[in-house]
Amino acid sequence: MARALSLRRRSLTAVVGWAVGLLLFFPILWMVITSFKTELEAFSTPPRFLFFDWTVENFGIVQQRSDYLKFAGNSIVLSLGSTLLGLAFAIPTAWAMAFAPARRTKDVLLWMLSTKMMPPVGALIPVYLLFKDSGLLDSRVGLIGVEFLLNLPIIVWMLFTYFKEIPADILEAARMDGATLWREIVYVLTPMAVPGIASTVLLNVILAWNEAFWTLNLTTTDAAPLTVFIASYSSPEGLFWAKLSAASTMAIAPILVLGWFSQRQLVRGLTFGAVK
């Protein structure tokens, strides 16, 4: 009896679970479906869910009309560039904080995090004017710099929490054997920290890829990533639903896949370790 009840309960949970999951996922699913329609079908009511002539022409048109690949290239360069630059700064910092903590280490760490809480509009105007005067507006170098600074606190933080889990005895042993700091970092610490570093890279690439405040305000064409590419579809010209969907699908697909891989690290990275 109890067993039958629990089976019934389980199947009910499954039905509710799948219904809720599909409902929340629906906007994305609908976008992907629409990207395979012709404009006429995309606009038609009643909407067609599966039975229409599937076509891939929109993807070609989007590439031809607004050069998707150029924007995608910028997205890759900006997100990878800023993350790698961040790693170069953050690995030594997080190493020192985790293994050679001083009295003020905690304060420095919290202060670094607090820079993340500064609203971007507080810095927008000077950064915009400085960029304009120095020719950095719409340049990849300038944007990499900004995204690097945006993510540096999170990178330091995540690496710090990962490094702290590495037993200090091993480093002690390496030091006893006369390893220099550089060797200690390269040969002992880094190999053990690779999983943590990989998760950090993943999460920060995602954050940089989707960053839309600075990219919308500081770039127009040359350095513009996919966030700006999609924003150019905000002023419609005729029937454009299918093309918008195709462009959107291409803009989010790579990062959605990465995101699904990084879901376990997400909580840790985004709550700064406040929830484990």
Partner 1 sequence: MATRHASALARTAIAPSALVLFLWMIVPLGMTIYFSLLHYSLLDPGNESFIGFLNYRYFLTDPAFFTALFNTLKLLGAVLALTVVGGILLALLLDQPFFGRGIVRLMVIAPFFVMPTVSALIWKNLLMHPVSGLFAWLAKSVGLRPIDWFAEAPLAAISLIVAWQWLPFAALILLTALQSLDQEQKEAAEMDGAPPISYFFHIVLPHLGRAITVVILIETIFLLNVFAEIRVTTGGGPGLQTTNIPFLVYAQALLQFDVGGASAGGIVAVILANIVAFFLVRMIGRNLEA
Which tokens hold the place of 275? 């929830």
Buried-state track 170-200, b at ≥16 Cβ within 10 A, e below 16: ebeebeeeebeeeebbeebbeebbeebbebb
23 to 42, contacts with partner 1 by CB under 8 A? 24-25, 27-28, 30-31, 34, 42
Question: Pick from 136, 154, 197, 244: which binds partner 1 (CB under 8 A)?
Answer: 244
Residue 5 CB partners (closer than 8 Å, separation 6+): none
Q: Are 171 and 99 in contact (CB under 8 A)?
A: yes
Question: Whose Cβ is closer to partner 1: residue 61's or residue 258's?
Answer: 258
Interface map 158-197 toward partner 1 (x if CB under 8 A): -----------------x-----x----------------
Question: Whose Cβ is closer to partner 1: residue 196's or residue 202's?
Answer: 202
The reply on whether position 10 binds partner 1 by CB under 8 A is: yes
CA distance 242 to 38: 6
The reply on whether position 76 binds partner 1 by CB under 8 A is: no
Question: Pick from 156, 188, 197, 223: which binds partner 1 (CB under 8 A)?
Answer: 156
Evaluate the CA torsion angle 192, 84, 232, 60 in order and state its sign. Answer: negative
Question: Whose Cβ is closer to partner 1: residue 140's or residue 185's?
Answer: 185
CA distance 249 to 238: 20
Question: Pick from 21, 60, 135, 195: which binds partner 1 (CB under 8 A)?
Answer: 21
Q: Which listed range, 50-58, 135-143, 190-198, 242-250, lies at the site for partner 1 (CB under 8 A)?
A: 242-250
82 to 141, contacts with partner 1 by CB under 8 A? 89-90, 92-93, 95-97, 99-100, 102, 106, 108-110, 112-130
- State which amino acid sits at residue 91: I
CA distance 158 to 154: 6
198 to 217, contacts with partner 1 by CB under 8 A? 206, 209-210, 212-213, 216-217
Other C-beta atoms within 10 Å of 149: how many?
A: 18
216 to 235, contacts with partner 1 by CB under 8 A? 216-217, 226-228, 230-231, 233-234
- Minimum Å gap between C-beta 231 and partner 1 is 5
Question: What angle, rounded to 10 degrees, do the helices at 57-66 and 241-261 form?
Answer: 90
CA distance 101 to 107: 11
- Minimum Å gap between C-beta 145 and partner 1 is 9
Question: Whose Cβ is closer to partner 1: residue 140's or residue 214's?
Answer: 214
- Minimum Å gap between C-beta 92 and partner 1 is 4
Question: Whose Cβ is closer to partner 1: residue 114's or residue 221's?
Answer: 114
- Minimum Å gap between C-beta 221 and partner 1 is 16
